[in-house]
Chains A and B, each alone.
Chain A
Amino acid sequence: MSRSRKLLIGTALAASLAAPALAERLGLGRPALPEEIAAWDVAVLPDGTGLPVGSGDVLTGEEVFLEVCATCHGEFAEGLDSWPVLAGGRGTLTDPRPVKTVGSYWPYLSTVFDYIHRSMPFGGAQTVSVDETYAITAFLLYSNGIVEDDFVLSNENFTEIVMPNVDGFYPDDRAETEHPLFSAAPCMENCRTAAPEITKRAVDLGVTPTDPDGRPAGTIPPL
């Protein structure tokens, strides 16, 4: 276990031991009603927890996508202008400029359903139905070459889909791979073998907003 996790758990235990108030309840708030929980808890977890009953196929998904998504994300989920690319990019994760999409990068299909259902389309969120969300998700699987064009996605077969990059992630390991390296007593004197040489200058790029006099925006005025 990482040092930071141990630290967290240690302090949590200390806090719970030192706080007898934890056991007392103030009687504030009121029980949430089932309708209220259903309205707000639409999260879907990687194992399918939270999936609503419903289904949608690729072709329906394409129709919905063209109607509500394609003006930003393109007809093939390839992304227009600088809007996010949702398909493609497989095998680019070690490239100089990786293309991180649903197909090339995202580990779980649950996230696709959950995020679209809750937060898309941008500016009109929570307007796509459960079945439409299944359909869009099926279309994105198709766009990413993961299913055939006759595929029907439902709450029944949802967890059978394994995303290409499902094994592409691992929990924070800085406590093992970095913190020991960076915890040695630092050099204080004669730390360099040669005089500093400039290798990069931000002024060469010229991409910072400027004041009218050409200085970086917000430069402190002369007295």
Chain B
Amino acid sequence: MTDEPIKGGRTGSTRRGFLRQTAAAGAGLVAGAAAARADGPDPLITEVQGWASSFGDPVDAAPYGLPIHFEDHVVRRNVEWLTESPVSSINFTPIHALEGTITPQGCAFERHHSGAIELSKSEYRLMINGLVETPLVFTYADLERFPRHVLTAFCECAANGGMEWGGAQLEGCQFTQGMIHNMEYTGVMLRDLLNEAGIKPEGKWVYAEGADASSNGRSMPLEKALDDVMVAFYANGEALRKEHGYPVRLVVPGFEGNMWVKWLRRIAVYDQAVESREETSKYTDLMPDGRARKWTWVMDAKSVITAPSPQAPIRHGAGPLVITGLAWSGLGKVVRVDVSTDGGNTWHEARLSGDVKPKALTRFHYDMTWDGQEMFIMSRCIDETGYVQPTKQALRDIRGLNNVYHNNGIQVWWVRADGEVENVEIA
């Protein structure tokens, strides 16, 4: 409900009371012809509203527009206690309020290690060096002249859901699954840039680092660099946002977000991995025996129901209910998503809505009739390799509680009879 006066309107005082009455009358009833019947004429229809009579904004009001203020809740959020400094920190995409698969750039999550730097196209330089025939320097203008490609991919932080390894901690899928965004990228393939320098036979690893103080250097095997890694300039149709690596970032489909190096300044070819800080101290996954996995690059199949969820309670009472969510896999395409409303006793195949792309967010829907009783709702993603998203417990049985990264366990939401939704674990 809005407290905004109706622009130019004459009828603002009566409509709010009317809406309250109808909302109260509808609550708790099984939707149907009876609930849909009006008690009387709706003044929003029978009375001429301001917007139907006077002017709206002119076309010169917003050269680059922002969402309407009614959507002010659809913004990034941060959780201060998660990190010691806001410039080496994380914020969260409001996935509870989004639909489809493309993440609006303005609310797509950020993860920096020394802040979001400002780097102009004219000051931008990219170096390729190491085990190459000719070390090269490119300007941004040079990069614009390579053949371009377009691909859509999810960027999921390796730590997405990491706070949930030990239990149910944060309240809302924005916080528990929202270190993710999905964009349509345009750029040039890394293999084309490497070809320009000429890789020497002894070159086996590619190291990428950013122009920021943290540098975020990461090593990847040459096979990946020659496969589908993109040096991207555009996201969702426009230049990258500053906080997403303007003017140039690496897009590494299916791999953990840390490797998507932003403000990319140097690509080096080596005969071994650098074993940098971000692939030794961080982004290594401690196992129960005290040893740790390293080079856990791929993000496994995962899904989450985005609504209903703790930030998207059911307020419309029993009756038709849309369950909507996201599924994705770093190993390829999502082929199926199952939904359970009874804590995993019975599963139903959901619909995959829209085009399914490999290593990209996939939207699923499951339409049901809610009887108004409590539910434990869960989703389970299956990808084209046959991998079935595991429960958190199945992961813990192998990895213990201190993996930190790569939590792709099934999320359970407890939908209470009053329509409120909680993040829970169940046995």
A220 touches B286 (CB 8 A): no
* B124: Cβ under 8 A from any A Cβ: no
Given A43-B207, A45-B274, A208-B175, check contact A192 B345 (CB 8 Å): yes
Interface residues of B in 58-104 (CB under 8 A from A): 70, 73-75, 77-81, 84-85, 88, 94, 96-97
Interface flags for B151-163 (1: CB within 8 Å of A; 0: not) read 0000000000000
Contact with B along A156-180 (1 / 0, CB 8 A): 0000000000011111111001110
Partner of A122, one of B85, B169, B197, B298: B85
| Interface residues of chain A: helix, strand, loop or mixed (majority) | loop
A219 touches B73 (CB 8 A): yes
> Does B201 have its Cβ within 8 Å of any Cβ on chain A?
no
Q: Is A3 in contact with B385, judged by CB distance below 8 angstroms? A: yes
Question: Distance in Å from the Cβ of A181 to the closest Cβ of chain B?
Answer: 8
Interface segment among A58-66, A92-100, A131-139, A141-149: the answer is A92-100
Contact at A218–B346, with CB atoms within 8 Å?
A: no
In the bound complex, do residue B293 and residue A32 qualify as a contact, i.e. CB atoms below 8 Å apart?
no
- B346 pairs with A188, CB closer than 8 A: yes
Report how many residues on chain A are interfacial, defined by Cβ distance under 8 Å: 100
Mask for A92-114, Cβ within 8 A of B = 1, else 0?
A: 01101110101001111011001
Query: Does B347 lie at the interface of the complex (its beta carbon under 8 Å from any beta carbon of A)?
Result: yes
- Name which residue of chain A comes closest to B227, CB basis: A12
Indicate which residue in B167, B293, B423 contacts A172 across the interface (CB closer than 8 Å): B293
A41: nearest residue on chain B (CB-CB)?
Answer: B129
Given A8-B223, A198-B414, are A182 and B394 neighbors across the interface (CB < 8 Å)? Answer: yes
Q: Are A201 and B168 in contact (CB under 8 A)?
A: yes
Q: How far is the CA of A26 from the CA of B142 in the complex (A)?
A: 10
- Which residue of chain B has its CB nearest to the CB of A173? B293
Residue of A49, A218, A222 near B174 (CB, 8 A) is A218
Set A29, A45, A111, A192: member contacting B343, Cβ < 8 A: A192
Residues of A within 8 A of B338 (CB): 186, 188
CA distance A160 to B75 in the complex (A): 51
**Is the C-beta of B37 less than 8 angstroms from some C-beta in chain A?**
no
How many whole Å from B25's CB to the nearest CB in chain A?
14
In the complex, chain A residues 6-63 whose Cβ is within 8 Å of any chain B Cβ = 7-9, 11-12, 15-16, 19, 21-23, 25-26, 28-32, 36-37, 40-41, 43-47, 49
A70 smallest CB distance to B (angstroms): 16
A115: interface (CB < 8 Å)? yes
Contacts A7-B331, A26-B145, A203-B422 aside, 7 further interface pairs with beta carbons under 8 A come to: A12-B224, A15-B191, A106-B280, A178-B390, A181-B398, A196-B342, A202-B310
